[in-house]
Amino acid sequence: MSTRANRISAALTEAFAPTLLEVRDDSHLHAGHAGAREGGETHYGVTMVAALFDGKSRVDRSRAVHAVLAGELESGLHALALTLRTPVEQARYMPPG
């Protein structure tokens, strides 16, 4: 059985060829809130680093991810927290060494 996290990971990998991709199901943090359902899979966090983001604004990056995940958003994905960086931007967050 395919989980929403697996489908999100597969879709983003195919579309963006990221060098880093982390998909978290944060649904348990939103129990009782709007859009939350029993069983979860409604609220996700995504951290992705991809060269394809180079030269794109934060809004354009988010729009591109939302376009790729449109089917998930239409089928129960309620909230998506995005951290989207280029490899150069990500290097600023990595400790030296």
SS3 sequence of 3-31: CHHHHHHHHHHHHHCCCEEEEEECHHHHC
Mean pLDDT on 14-27: 94
CATH class of 4-91: alpha beta
Confidence band of 1 (pLDDT split at 50, 70, 90): very low
pTM for this predicted structure: 0.83
Distance in angstroms (rounded) separating the CA atoms of residues 74 and 78:
9
Confidence band of 30 (pLDDT split at 50, 70, 90): very low
Place of tokens 């960086």: 85
Residue 47 backbone phi and psi in degrees, to 5: -115, 125
| pLDDT at residue 14 is higher than 90 | yes
Distance in angstroms (rounded) separating the CA atoms of residues 40 and 51:
31
